[in-house]
Amino acid sequence: MYISGVYSVLLLVVSNIFMTLAWYGHLKLQQTGVSAHWPMIGVIAFSWMIAFFEYCCQVPANRLGFVDNGGPFTLVQLKVVQECISLMVFALIANIMFQNQGLHWNHAAAFLCIIAAVYFVFMD
């Protein structure tokens, strides 16, 4: 059970890296001029190609981690863990890709609230 939980979390991290790149990577490409003149359908297709890999990690992560499949997490726990990972990955990638977007005290406070949510969802 422990190993499936670790694999589930690792796959969720990889999944969220792809998700963040699919959702926001095109904005960086637009900033650099690479995709500035792409039609919207081209931007959507580009994002979908990246999102395919997100789903290739997300679906197995949920299957491995779900308690009914031998994993350690309930459905609610999986979702809260995924959201926590999503925001952490987003903060890191956003700061790497869009370096002028710094984090402030209110972002740290929000992350603490999310970590508290994870704590509370795992309480008996």
pLDDT for res 6: 94
Please classify residue 63 by burial: count the beta carbons closer than 10 Å to its beta carbon, then call 0-12 exposed, 13-18 middle and 19+ buried.
Answer: middle
Taking residues 85-112, report their average pLDDT. Answer: 82
Taking residues 86-107, report their average pLDDT. Answer: 81
Instruction: Say which amino acid occupies 123.
Output: M
CA distances from 110 to 42, 46, 113 (A): 34, 31, 5
pTM for the model: 0.84
